[in-house]
Structure 1
């Protein structure tokens, strides 16, 4: 996607907008996508005191109907904001707020992962640091021996975090209860003899039917000359039972073409009882790497995989995905080439229809693609300080308020 298709709001005139990243997150809030953070080896951030200047401490919003990008305030002059904005987790909390957890601590020049919690308000463009409680050993450890982050999943008022810990050589599961303040951490200790003794990094999880299903990841990323001690496959998923506190493997039917795959740094989303897995890197013989260009769907009721679609190009890894209200799977960012440190990053949103959109959603997409729709969205987004007056004029012209709200 060319830079001309984005709003011009980059600090560096030669830098594309949004800045292409890996290790970012994307969430759907109503008619908008929100992208937070990421990392790019060719980006330089001089404003935040950091050991690693490749961090992209930005928040971008992409309207699903107008396809226009805008930038939200992330830092200056704020306090109480995270600087660990890569390999973090974000989740929709309300229609205007996001829950932010963790992230790489390489900006502080340490091989650890953060366990801090923040809330970001899209309306106020502000951060709030959240104080969480928990007894000794209940909070996710920061001393995990790497900065590749954790996997997380928010279901209702429970945030589940699954950490690959190089220090303990285990996958560790913690849960944060957010139904009342203060938020409270609890560590779920597996029963003796039922541990998972492989500290995966850049894996993904979903929680379904009181079970944590693990997808992808590597034990020895960035150390591929060492033999991989864990040989996972999509046909046999590591699974943690939240009720019995036991690890086991869930056997899944899958085409033999994909049965032996175990992608590193894929992205997964849960839609009903279906998991959509996109992309990832595939290691061969502990050294060579290919990219997965498939979109695979897992039926968690039937325990059966099928090939659902394909990604553009050769695939990607270290990317992010989410599902919108109109049933579109959105895939964003990531590395487009096999070498992580030098690969080009993406700033393109790829859409894959997963469910049937409503007639209203179809009509609004068609309107925005029309000549009048383009003129209307340009009036809204070019007005800036005079946007309120433009909105009032459009109401007089017959535009319902809920339609205008979806275009902003």
Structure 2
């Protein structure tokens, strides 16, 4: 009798435990399905965009390569690009005069807003440079400066022209700046930096010759002067000590005096990153900085058509290298070089979503990296372009920036609220101003 009762009680307890076990399992699975915000520096996120509103004809830019972007705290701005593989059925070319006129180039300017994840096209095409590929671009305050570049076919039409626009204008028309002095030759694939009201241009190609010349433009007088003439420009086979070989599509960083040159190449060569050519504006000469490889992975592979972005963290300047190609391999890696110790760090656990080259990169003032477009693969000479956007934090920013990220994660449709309502709710005006005015209320996710 007692044995039967004990067996019944044990059986009942087992049944109850199984029921609670199933309930707990379902609860855990439910929790897993609920996405939670987590701040993870160096981890790349692919950004899903809203495609604007139904009333617009072209809602977002087509896949491209060879373009440039510049970012502020609210948006990045995209200029130019190239896609010879774009099929006519992808867009209504008959309705877009500028797409017809410039094809296979994109003589156009776009803005991508980080908060709303929407694209906005500026209809200022007539003022944009026709040389829409491999320009050099810098965003300084409200001024977007675009220099050089080439048209199609590449090398036959190059530029030494500077175009400038104010991104705060409702229709930011590009102004062609008339300059004087010792102008650099028309080229493309140059790199530029801004410093103390001067614009410096470094290197580039005409399509047949490559240099590491340095010129500077006084942005007060618009007069060019030559800072350094490389051996290629002087017609010599041998250059001065430590002078780097001429190149294009290299990337540069600047620490206030020294210009650091990363990679790049020619039609036949790709340059390494183990030794970094460095030009001192004070001493007016080139030196070579020997870097220290990552303790486990050594040095980045040689590359061109990559990204290089400088951030300053607690007074220390660091350069981050993303993607690129050596002519055979395509990379999706992330490397960091400390400009004080010259030591490389390889982020083995953090990679871009896809292998990319000829992509465009830019960082926000708070240290968030954005990557747009580029070429995905080289299989069977099929240079597949992409319109992918991805981003990652390159440092730990202010807590307010992390909070803003979390708000947009949990409440993405906050961007559709009235700005007055958001300010009354306690959202700081500086963040409300990052949200663009709604051009229509019918967003498509």
Does the residue aligned with 1:232 lie in a helix, a strand or coil?
Answer: coil
Distance 1:208 1:112, change over 3 A: farther
Give the alignment of 1:361-400 within 5 angstroms. 361-370=401-410, 373-379=411-417, 390-392=418-420, 394-395=422-423, 399-400=427-428
Distance (Å, rounded) in 2 between the aligned partners of 1:264 and 1:339: 18
Distance (Å, rounded) in 2 between the aligned partners of 1:377 and 1:59: 23
Residue 129 of structure 1 corresponds to: 175
Higher relative contact order (CA 8 A, sep 6+): 2
Distance 1:340 1:359, change over 3 A: farther
Contact preservation (8 Å) 2:50, 2:116: no
Cα distance, 1:298 vs structure 2:
0.8
Residue 277 of structure 1 corresponds to: 321
Distance (Å, rounded) in 2 between the aligned partners of 1:328 and 1:243: 31
1:290 equivalent among 329, 334, 354: 329
Give the alignment of 1:17-96 within 5 angstroms. 17-43=60-86, 47-48=97-98, 53-75=103-125, 79-94=126-141, 96=142
Distance (Å, rounded) in 2 between the aligned partners of 1:258 and 1:84: 38
Cα distance, 1:191 vs structure 2:
8.2
Distance (Å, rounded) in 2 between the aligned partners of 1:357 and 1:40: 36
2:212 equivalent among 145, 165, 171: 171
Cα distance, 1:81 vs structure 2:
2.9
Contact preservation (8 Å) 1:206, 1:214: yes
Gaps of 5+ in 1: 284-288, 380-389
1:248 equivalent among 287, 292, 299: 287
1:113 equivalent among 154, 158, 161: 158
Distance 1:7 1:65, change over 3 A: same
Cα distance, 1:258 vs structure 2:
4.8
Distance (Å, rounded) in 2 between the aligned partners of 1:335 and 1:19: 13
More helix per residue: 1 or 2? Answer: 2
Does the residue aligned with 2:117 lie in a helix, a strand or coil?
Answer: coil
Give the alignment of 1:279-318 within 5 angstroms. 279-283=323-327, 289-308=328-347, 310-318=350-358
Matched, 1:200 2:243: no
Residue 286 of structure 1 corresponds to: none
What's the TM-score once normalised by structure 1's chain length? 0.79
Contact preservation (8 Å) 2:272, 2:301: yes
Contact preservation (8 Å) 1:37, 1:58: yes
Q: How many residues align?
A: 368
Contact preservation (8 Å) 1:241, 1:247: yes
Does the residue aligned with 1:294 lie in a helix, a strand or coil?
Answer: strand
Contact preservation (8 Å) 2:299, 2:344: no
Distance 1:48 1:257, change over 3 A: same
Cα distance, 1:111 vs structure 2:
2.1
2:431 equivalent among 389, 403, 406: 403
Distance 1:81 1:57, change over 3 A: closer
Distance 1:348 1:396, change over 3 A: same
Contact preservation (8 Å) 1:21, 1:334: yes
Does the residue aligned with 2:246 lie in a helix, a strand or coil?
Answer: coil
Cα distance, 1:280 vs structure 2:
0.6
Distance (Å, rounded) in 2 between the aligned partners of 1:24 and 1:404: 29
Cα distance, 1:139 vs structure 2:
1.2
Does the residue aligned with 1:106 lie in a helix, a strand or coil?
Answer: coil
